[in-house]
Structure 1
Amino acid sequence: MKILFVNNGLAGGGVEKLLNDMLPLINESGNYCELLILFDDDAKYLESLRNNGVKVQIVPKKIYNKGHFQRILYIMNYIKNNDFDIVHANEFPLIYYCSIIKTILGKKMPKLVMTEHNTDNRRRHIKLSRPLEKLIYRNYDKVTSISDKVQEVLLDWLRPNDRDKYVVVYNGIAAENFRNSKPYERSDLVPEISEKDKLLCVIGSLTEQKNYFLC
């Protein structure tokens, strides 16, 4: 299969880390994938992906700066000019862009997939956006959520009739990176720590939705 992933950028977020780890493995599996991003500002994983043989296409800044219509047109032409089997969208506004492109291309559009990464976003706090969101998500052939809770709140928001296309696919890790790992000494992490002190490890952004208050 030939797969195009589309994403906003390659800064240090969870989505970008997942793409950095996953795309080289897809190519190693005998399939082919490439990545199209809107901008390369603070592109933490750009060099890593390219060094691992993944083609990364960046929307030219002169196109990006012209606004939504020109970005959509550029992405649509990129899809049309390449023989992709699947287009996989991540993040807003690209999930909107790709849905609009499918409306324009119709049957000429490859299979369209997206991943829902979050339990909340600003759009869900605007009641009038629900009808628009239902139309946007309806264009996708498959909608994956990274956890049961993400899917639960998404379905509660959209209330779709075609619930069967909504599935949960948990984020994976490259297990071989951890098989030979060794634990740090406590004093290596915090030199002044005592044996009575508790250490708390946090993996994720320091935001309310991570539920740190439960700790």
Structure 2
Amino acid sequence: MNKRLAIVNHNLGSGGAEKLIHDMALELKDMNIEFSIILLTNVNDIYGKKLQEVGIDVIYLSNKWDIYSPKNIFKLKKILKHYDIIHTHTYTAQLWTAFSSLFLGKKKKYITTEHSTSNRRREKFYFKYLDGWMYSRYNKIISITDATQINLKKWLNNKNPEKHLVINNGINLKKYYSTTPINRKEINQNLKEEDILICMIGRFSEQKSKNFNKKYEIFK
């Protein structure tokens, strides 16, 4: 009997985690894996509609921005009972799925992916207890970088280290092999061929820039 997979997130708007889910869904479809994407809301949706257009099952639990409502526990409980493996991303999906798991029995497998080296919860000591319980509900905790895992383990006082593993984010290289490089003059008329250009895809924040100097010291 084939296992059914549910991928849970708050939405599929713009963002790195959302783009990862989009790309992963396309790969899973090509692998003929039976799965659904469960989203807490359709607000600010971008990738969800695109996935539906290619025949991927995307389920929205709300058309309002109520991702912090405890009602999501019971909405998830109702739908996740039909799945065997549940993979969550981002905090609200992680939290409400953890609570719903209390009502879903012990046969299901729970996986979560940690996408950032820091967040605002880690500024408040009392969240350490809530997060500790939340992550304890998962069978595997995937971090997208070594630094992400190190910081999460530190926050959780390195509890259950056997649950942790690192899987770096990947991209589909095929779509870039056949692209045509942009003419430098379209960017800036003063650019020369020998000028080194660096493109950063992501917001300039602590999480994105923590190792910036280390990564680009090769250009010094």
What percentage of residue pairs aligned between the two structures are identical? Answer: 29
Inter-CA distance 140–66: structure 2 relative to 1 (3 Å threshold): closer
Alpha-carbon RMSD across the aligned residues, in angstroms, is: 2.1
Q: Name 2:191's counterpart in structure 1.
A: 194
Inter-CA distance 91–66: structure 2 relative to 1 (3 Å threshold): closer
SS of residue paired to 1:130: helix
CA distance in 2, matches of 1:61, 1:104: 25
> 1:144, 1:169 within 8 Å by CA — same for their partners in 2?
yes
> 2:11, 2:39 within 8 Å by CA — same for their partners in 1?
yes
CA distance in 2, matches of 1:131, 1:2: 31
C-alpha displacement of 1:35:
0.6
1:118-174 deviations in whole A, cap 9, x for unaligned? Answer: 000111111122122111111100000000000000001102432111000111111
C-alpha displacement of 1:181:
2.0
CA distance in 2, matches of 1:114, 1:65: 21
1:207 to 205, 208, 219: 205
Q: Name 1:100's counterpart in structure 2.
A: 99
> 2:68, 2:92 within 8 Å by CA — same for their partners in 1?
no
Q: Name 1:174's counterpart in structure 2.
A: 172
Q: Name 1:127's counterpart in structure 2.
A: 125
C-alpha displacement of 1:66:
9.8
C-alpha displacement of 1:106:
2.9
Q: Name 1:73's counterpart in structure 2.
A: 74
CA distance in 2, matches of 1:29, 1:159: 37
More deviation, 25-34/114-123: 25-34
2:11 to 3, 9, 18: 9
1:1-60 deviations in whole A, cap 9, x for unaligned? Answer: 321011111111001111111102102112112111111122111221112221111113
Q: Name 1:48's counterpart in structure 2.
A: 50
C-alpha displacement of 1:211:
1.9
Amino acid at match of 1:194: L
**TM-score normalised per structure 1:** 0.89
SS of residue paired to 1:107: coil
**Pairs within 5 Å for 1:147-162:** 147-162=145-160
**TM-score normalised per structure 2:** 0.87
